[in-house]
Amino acid sequence: MHSLSAIVLAGGKSSRMGEDKALLPVQGVPLLKRVCDVASSLCNLVYIITPTPEKYQHLSLNNCQFVREVPLSQENLSTPTSTKVTLPLPHGPLVGFAQGLAVVQTDWVLLLACDLPKLQIEVLQNWVEELENVPEDAIAALPCHDKGWDPLCGFYPRSCFPVLNAFITQGGRSFQSWLAQHPVHILSLPSTEMLFNCNTPEDLALVDDTR
Ligand SMILES: Nc1nc2c(ncn2[C@@H]2O[C@H](COP(=O)(O)OP(=O)(O)OP(=O)(O)O)[C@@H](O)[C@H]2O)c(=O)[nH]1
Ligand SMILES: [Mg+2]
């Protein structure tokens, strides 16, 4: 059995939602806490990657450790050395993930967005078992939907860090572009419902009947 930890991303702009969605309650429980509770039922350790841990410290989160996301410095960017550049936050989920993966100690990591209110523990558990069958050269094991891979609800081996870091250093910021360059193992998805993510107030109203 592989060792497994989780990374939960909580660092976007929530621009479509208009306020920090990580803190918005669904059926009384803030989205970030819902996702972290699911992750901690599967993994001993959950890393929350965010530039602002202080915003979430009041949520009673079990088995969770905050990793403060930092701006990308010049060394990590493919810019001429004469140009002084620091990429400001947020720099997107791929870079957030890479900063989290840098501290992971387990063979595999479950990566989750913070805006997934319909995660199903049984499906995730089946996927964990499926990791035994993933070919060694795969950089990820992910569900697929009609628009491509869902990179923010799936698994990555810690060994993908060097290729991820190289992609980012060359200026890559897109999960889909990175995934397209390497073998990815497909995870079977009984229903796309569990990939539903809350991006807008209308999405939130669909999953929270108190609104
Ligand atoms: N740590 C980290 N997480 C991010 C970053 N950008 C997006 N995320 C997370 O990635 C997940 C999916 O992002 P989106 O659903 O697009 O959320 P968003 O970027 O906050 O929202 P929009 O501004 O409306 O696109 C969410 O869990 C976000 O918190 C980032 O720069 N750093
Ligand atoms: Mg989303």
- What tens digit of pLDDT does each residue of 30-75 get? 999 999 999 999 999 999 999 999 999 999 999 999 999 998 875 5
Residue 115 marked as a ligand binder: yes
- pLDDT surpassing 60 at residue 77: no
Cα of 112 vs centre of ligand 2, distance in Å, is: 10
Instruction: Give the pLDDT confidence of 100-120 residue by residue, as tens digits.
Output: 999 999 999 999 999 999 999
- Ligand 1 in contact with 35 (CB < 6 A)? no
CB-proximal residues (5 Å) to ion ligand 2: 115, 197, 199
Residue at token pair 């920090």? 20
- Ligand 1 in contact with 90 (CB < 6 A)? yes
> What is the C-alpha to C-alpha distance for residues 187 and 127, in angstroms, rounded to an integer?
7
- Ligand 1 in contact with 172 (CB < 6 A)? no
Question: How high does pLDDT run on average in the chain?
Answer: 93
Instruction: Give the pLDDT confidence of 113-172 residue by residue, as tens digits.
Output: 999 999 999 999 999 999 999 999 999 999 999 889 999 999 999 999 999 999 999 999
Contact of 74 with 94, CB cutoff 8 Å: no
> What is the C-alpha to C-alpha distance for residues 35 and 128, in angstroms, rounded to an integer?
17
Beta bridge partners of 108: 4, 157
Give the closest residue (by CA) to ligand 1 atom 3. 11
Tell me the ligand closest to 152's alpha carbon: 1
> What is the C-alpha to C-alpha distance for residues 34 and 57, in angstroms, rounded to an integer?
15
pLDDT score, position 87:
77
User: If you ran DSSP here, which 8-state letter would residue 107 be given?
Assistant: S
Task: Find all residues with CB under 8 Å of 15, minimum gap 6, and list them.
Answer: none
Instruction: Give the pLDDT confidence of 179-196 residue by residue, as tens digits.
Output: 999 999 999 999 999 999
Taking the alpha carbons of 65, 68, 72, 74 in that order, is the dihedral positive or negative? negative
Element (H, E) at 209: none
Tell me the ligand closest to 113's alpha carbon: 1
CATH number of 4-207: 3.90.550.10
- Ligand 1 in contact with 13 (CB < 6 A)? yes
- Ligand 1 in contact with 37 (CB < 6 A)? no
Confidence class for position 206, pLDDT limits 50, 70, 90? very high
